Amino acid sequence: MSATGSAAGGDVVLVLVEQHDGTPRGSALELLAAARALGTVHAVLLGQVSDAAVARLGAYGAVAVHVVGVPTPEASLPPAVAAVLAGLVDKTGASTVLVASTFPNKELAARLALATGAGLVVDASAVQRGPDGRVVTTQQVFAASWTLRGEVTAARAVVALKPNAVHAAPVATPVLPPVITHDAATLFDGVPGTRVRVVERTPRPESSRPDLGEAQVVVVGGRGVAGDFSPVEDLADALGGAVGATRVATDEGWISHETQVGQTGVMISPRLYIGAGVSGAVHHRGGMQASEVIVAVNNDVDAPIFEFADFGVVGDLFTVLPQAAAEIRRLKAQG
Amino acid sequence: MRIVVCVKHVPDLQAERSFTADGRVDRSQGDGTLSELDEHAVEAALVLTETLGGEVTVVTVGPADAEDAVRRGLQMGAQHAVHVIDDAIAGSDVFGTALVLAAAIRRLGAEGGVDLVITGMAALDGLMSVLPSLLAAHLDLPQATLAAELTVADDVVRVRRDLDHVTEVLEAPLPAVVSVTDQANEPRYPNFKGIMAARKTPVTAWSLADLGIDPATVGDAGARTRVLEATPRPVREDRVLITDDGEAGLRLAAYLAENRLLG
């Protein structure tokens, strides 16, 4: 391996594509768009893939689709997926691997980087190549109060990119990428993850609203909703957004735990964040401050969230939210 | 059972945090603390040894003030503490840190055995939640991370975890590496007895040489990434704060429309 970064162009960039109901997730299309600026894009899918999904990956820039079977539940655990990707890095000579920045993906990214000698960047909000071909990333850190630009000095890079960081635009002249099927057994050989047994795996029903981690608009309810999330849900629906909650709201049992936004819950970076009855405590901030536009509605003028909100309303969320939702629906109906 | 808990000293979250000119976290300002998320790891270890018997060793890597983190672990009730300290470690990325911690755990294993390694879910200062995975890889142990529930029976650790779209129950034979979330437990506050006992407990200091680590593999020399630039988020000048006069909802909708945010 050379000490400098590889040149752009012919470089293969592997993109780990996650699916829901047989369709690539929105975050995967964003990864493909980001990968196009880095080199030749190869998509990697675990499990089954439909013709429609392959065409969609082609529409967003993939020129090849690698499909690896998942023979057992254990085969989708991060150590096993890392081993699969390491095998594919070896086979394709890829210089860069992109994954969506979720907890399990960050784990597999780290193991992949360790196995391949790559530099690792997680929670990246942008990725491109520097003038010398090195992978250059941007991260928001310390509750998005600082922006770090860094470069990967190793010859290979593994980058976990946050949802909504990149606009997922289709390519002008898509091709139907060839599907290359790999034998999982050879790729999984000797993975320590296989010593872990999946006793139970229960998918949680996904709501009809957009996925919280990927949504462009998120409306969050905090202590101020006092158990009643209906105005929060109604405003989210008016905007086609997802519903989130603070730790207090989930601990009180007002809404399910997986809606918790924060450093220990879901990290979000939507185009629009609306916090209703949210004080803006530091742990919540760490999970949402990378949002592009922050709106706060709170009846406490001293709430810390007003210190960093772009648009703040001191007022009762139970009157402000319904009024806003009705007006938004009226404006949207006008077109 | 013998449990090792890896802890990290982090800048106080409530304090202003910043970077030095060379792109490192500025650790000169204000008090540091044991990462809150690591307290859940210490608590989990204490509960297990209280029910199953055994001892807890807290381990940290870092400069002199990192000792505060293991001290806090001792105050909570851990029996032993190890602090890996060496000038060559400065500037280590997560790979360097994992390499050093893994070597320390290996030495503890050689000296008396290690059945379980527990970490917090992330370090709040850098959010590098990947450390447990790297430890598992280095030590060639099974990993069961992000435990919201953790139990041990018959030399098998069982973990329940809630991921973005799925809930899983995993089992791994000991020895294993696990990480716990803030859902796993409510960390205890050190009591007077614990604080007094912690004062008398020596903290074992190990250097890289003690662990047989080549200094060139850690610190700045071993890092695979480099900070080019650290800039504070600019204060937005166009921020708006209004008090509801009966029409705030309409003004909010208008603001969203102006900024093309109606979805």
Query: Does pLDDT of A277 surpass 70?
Result: yes
> Cβ of B172 and A322 within 8 Å?
no
| pLDDT single digits (tens) A177-209 | 999 999 876 665 655 455 899 999 998 877 788
- The CA-based angle A305-A310-A316, given to 5 degrees, is 55
pLDDT at B232: 87
pLDDT at A6: 36
pLDDT at A305: 95
Q: Are B151 and A129 in contact (CB under 8 A)?
A: no
Q: Which two tokens stand for residue B149?
A: 């529930």
> Cβ of B95 and A113 within 8 Å?
yes
Number of A–B residue contacts, CB under 8 Å: 255
Collapsed DSSP state (helix, strand, coil) of residue B224:
coil
Least confident of A161-175, A222-236, B138-152: A161-175
Query: Does pLDDT of A335 surpass 80?
Result: no
Query: Does pLDDT of A7 surpass 50?
Result: no
Chain B hits for A113, CB-CB cut-off 8 Å, are: 95, 224
> Cβ of A311 and B240 within 8 Å?
yes
Query: Does pLDDT of A75 surpass 80?
Result: yes
- The CA-based angle A34-B124-B13, given to 5 degrees, is 120
What predicted TM-score, i.e. pTM, was given to this entire model?
0.87
Separation CA A104–CA B60 (nearest Å): 24
pLDDT at B142: 94
Q: How many CA atoms lie within 13 A of B47 on its CB side?
A: 17
Q: Which of A114, A238, A282 sits opposite B14 (nearest CB)?
A: A282
A199, A272, B251 from A320: Cα distances, Å: 47, 17, 10
Query: Does pLDDT of A210 surpass 60?
Result: yes
Average pLDDT value over all residues in chain A: 90
- In the chain, the amino acid numbered B253 is A
The residue in chain B having the minimum alpha-carbon distance to the alpha carbon of residue A272 is B261
Q: Are B256 and A325 in contact (CB under 8 A)?
A: no
Cβ burial, residue A178 (10 Å; 0-12/13-18/19+): exposed
pLDDT at A8: 42
The residue in chain B having the minimum alpha-carbon distance to the alpha carbon of residue A152 is B225
Q: Which of residues 17-76 of A touch B (CB under 8 A)?
A: 20
Question: Does any CB of chain B come closer than 8 Å to the CB of residue A319?
Answer: yes
Q: Are B115 and B52 in contact (CB under 8 A)?
A: no
Chain A hits for B241, CB-CB cut-off 8 Å, are: 306, 309, 312-314
Chain A hits for B122, CB-CB cut-off 8 Å, are: 263-264
Query: Does pLDDT of A9 surpass 50?
Result: no
Separation CA A298–CA A119 (nearest Å): 43
Cβ burial, residue B72 (10 Å; 0-12/13-18/19+): buried
Chain B hits for A214, CB-CB cut-off 8 Å, are: none
> Cβ of A110 and B133 within 8 Å?
yes
Q: Which of B137, B168, B249 sits opposite A327 (nearest CB)?
A: B249
Chain B hits for A315, CB-CB cut-off 8 Å, are: 243-244, 248
Chain B hits for A148, CB-CB cut-off 8 Å, are: 19, 23, 227, 229-230
> Cβ of A263 and B169 within 8 Å?
no
Q: Which of A122, A147, A196 sits opposite B143 (nearest CB)?
A: A196
Please give chain B's pLDDT, 263 residues, in tens: 999 999 987 665 555 666 676 666 665 555 556 678 899 999 999 999 999 999 999 999 999 988 988 999 999 999 999 999 999 998 888 899 999 999 999 999 999 999 999 999 876 555 568 999 999 999 999 999 999 999 999 999 999 998 888 899 999 999 999 999 988 999 999 999 999 999 999 999 999 999 999 999 998 888 888 889 988 877 777 889 999 999 999 999 999 999 999 87
Q: Which of residues 102-161 of A touch B (CB under 8 A)?
A: 102-104, 106-111, 113-115, 117-123, 136, 140-142, 144-154
| pLDDT single digits (tens) A18-42 | 998 889 998 999 999 999 999 999 9
Query: Does pLDDT of A1 surpass 50?
Result: no
Give me the residue label for tokens 């009762």.
A316
Separation CA A8–CA A131 (nearest Å): 10
Q: Which two tokens stand for residue A43?
A: 């998509």
Query: Does pLDDT of A214 surpass 90?
Result: no
Own/partner contacts of A184-188, CB < 8 Å, gap of 24 or more, are: A184/A68, A184/A69, A184/A70, A184/A71, A184/A75, A184/A84, A185/A71, A186/A87, A187/A68, A187/A83, A187/A84, A187/A87, A187/A88, A188/A75, A188/A80, A188/A83, A188/A84
> Cβ of A257 and B183 within 8 Å?
yes
A139, B37, B73, B257 from B127: Cα distances, Å: 11, 11, 20, 35
> Cβ of A264 and B121 within 8 Å?
yes
Cβ burial, residue A187 (10 Å; 0-12/13-18/19+): buried
Separation CA A321–CA A328 (nearest Å): 10
Q: Which of B162, B165, B239 sits opposite A310 (nearest CB)?
A: B239
Q: Are A48 and A171 in contact (CB under 8 A)?
A: no
Chain B hits for A204, CB-CB cut-off 8 Å, are: 165-167
Query: Does pLDDT of A160 surpass 70?
Result: yes
Chain A hits for B182, CB-CB cut-off 8 Å, are: 264
Separation CA A70–CA A312 (nearest Å): 48
> Cβ of B137 and A114 within 8 Å?
yes
> Cβ of A119 and B231 within 8 Å?
no
> Cβ of B226 and A141 within 8 Å?
no
Separation CA B130–CA B133 (nearest Å): 5
> Cβ of A107 and B133 within 8 Å?
yes
Angular region, A9: left φ>0, alpha ψ -120 to 50, beta rest: left
pLDDT at A5: 35
Least confident of A103-107, A281-285, A320-324, B113-117: A281-285
Q: How many CA atoms lie within 13 A of A273 on its CB side?
A: 35
The residue in chain A having the minimum alpha-carbon distance to the alpha carbon of residue B136 is A192
Give the best residue of B117, B140, B170, B218 to mutate against chain A (max A CB count within 10 A): B170
Q: What is the 3-state secondary structure (H, E, C) of chain A?
A: CCCCCCCCCCCEEEEEECEECCEECHHHHHHHHHHHCCCEEEEEEECCCCHHHHHHHHHCCCCEEEEECCCCHHHHCHHHHHHHHHHHHHHHCCCEEEEECCHHHHHHHHHHHHHHCCEEEEEEEEEEECCCCCEEEEEEECCCCEEEEEEECCCCEEEEECCCCCCCCCCCCCCCCCEEEECHHHHHCCCHHHHCEEEEEEECCCCCCCCCCCCCEEEEECHHHCCCCHHHHHHHHHCCCEEEECHHHHHCCCCCHHHEECCCCECCCCCEEEEECCCCCHHHHHHHCCCCEEEEEECCCCCHHHHCCCEEEECCHHHHHHHHHHHHHHHHHHC
Chain A hits for B136, CB-CB cut-off 8 Å, are: 79, 192
The residue in chain A having the minimum alpha-carbon distance to the alpha carbon of residue B181 is A264
Angular region, A307: left φ>0, alpha ψ -120 to 50, beta rest: alpha
